[in-house]
Amino acid sequence: MNYTDLITFYGTKDIEATTAFYQDLLGLRLASDQGKCRIFEVAPHALAAFCEHLDVTHSLKSPMLTFVLDDIDGCFAKLKDHCEVVEPPKRNDQFNLYHFFILDNNGYTLEFQKFLDPDWNQLRAADSQ
């Protein structure tokens, strides 16, 4: 099989507030506006969709959207005053990463992380060539 994209769908009760959060605060590109459902591009071929016709369902840290980036501290500084912080930035030795957790306007957990394993970075660099 030859997959071209991955889109995950989540419920929302307020598409406008969700758009403000993901497009304006996080800086994601709105890839498709279907009215009650909007799809945001997180990275090439990785998209997250929020739809008013789907239920908002979450429990603790599930489901979780994880954003991988290099500047964890800068990202946290930008977001910490605009959303509920679940866990501030810290190193996670078990998984060899540096990360933090917040809640979006729907109550979904968002993780922002940087892999500290050089093998991960080499793999990603090879994939982009």
Q: What burial class does residue 11 get, using C-beta atoms within 10 Å of its C-beta: 0-12 exposed, 13-18 middle, 19+ buried?
A: middle
**Same domain for 73 and 41:** no
65 and 96 part of one domain:
yes
Domain ranges, residue 7: 1-53
> Lowest-confidence range among 8-22, 63-77, 79-93, 111-125?
111-125
Indicate whether 82 and 112 sit together in one domain.
yes
pLDDT bracket for residue 127 (50, 70, 90): low
Q: What is the pLDDT of residues 45-57, one digit of tens each?
A: 999 999 999 999 9
The CATH number assigned to the domain holding 83 equals: 3.10.180.10
Question: In the listed set 53, 74, 91, which residue is the last one of a domain according to the structure?
Answer: 53
Q: Which residues contact 106 (CB under 8 A, 6 or more apart)?
A: 10, 11, 12, 13, 14, 18, 50, 56, 58
**Is there a single domain that holds both residue 128 and residue 66?**
yes
Q: Are residues 38 and 80 in the same domain?
A: no
120 shares a domain with 80: yes
Domain identity same for 17 and 70? no
Residues 6+ apart with CB under 8 A from 129: none
29 and 92 both lie in a single domain? no
Residues 115, 82 share a domain: yes
pLDDT digits (tens, 9 = 90+) for 71-85: 999 999 999 999 999
Same domain, 46 and 75: no
pLDDT bin (cut points 50, 70, 90) of residue 128 is: low
Count of domains in the chain? Answer: 2
